[in-house]
Amino acid sequence: MDRASYVTVIAFLFASTPAVKQAHSDAGNNRPNIVILLADDLGSRGLGRYGGPVKTPVLDGLATKGVRFTDFHATSYSLC
> Cβ(24)–Cβ(31) under 8 Å?
yes
Per-residue pLDDT tens digits for 10-52: 777 767 666 555 555 555 567 777 777 777 777 767 778 778 8
| Residues 42, 28 share a domain | no
Residue 23's domain spans which residues? Answer: 1-32
**Domain for residue 16, yes or no?**
yes
| Residues 64, 46 share a domain | yes
Please state, in angstroms and rounded to a whole number, the distance separating the CA atoms of residues 70 and 25: 31
Does this model's pTM top 0.75? My answer is no
In eight-state DSSP terms, residue 33 is P
Give the model's pLDDT for residue 71.
73
Q: At residue 77, does pLDDT exceed 70? A: no
Q: What is the total count of domains within the chain? A: 2
**C-beta atoms surrounding 39 within 10 Å:** 8
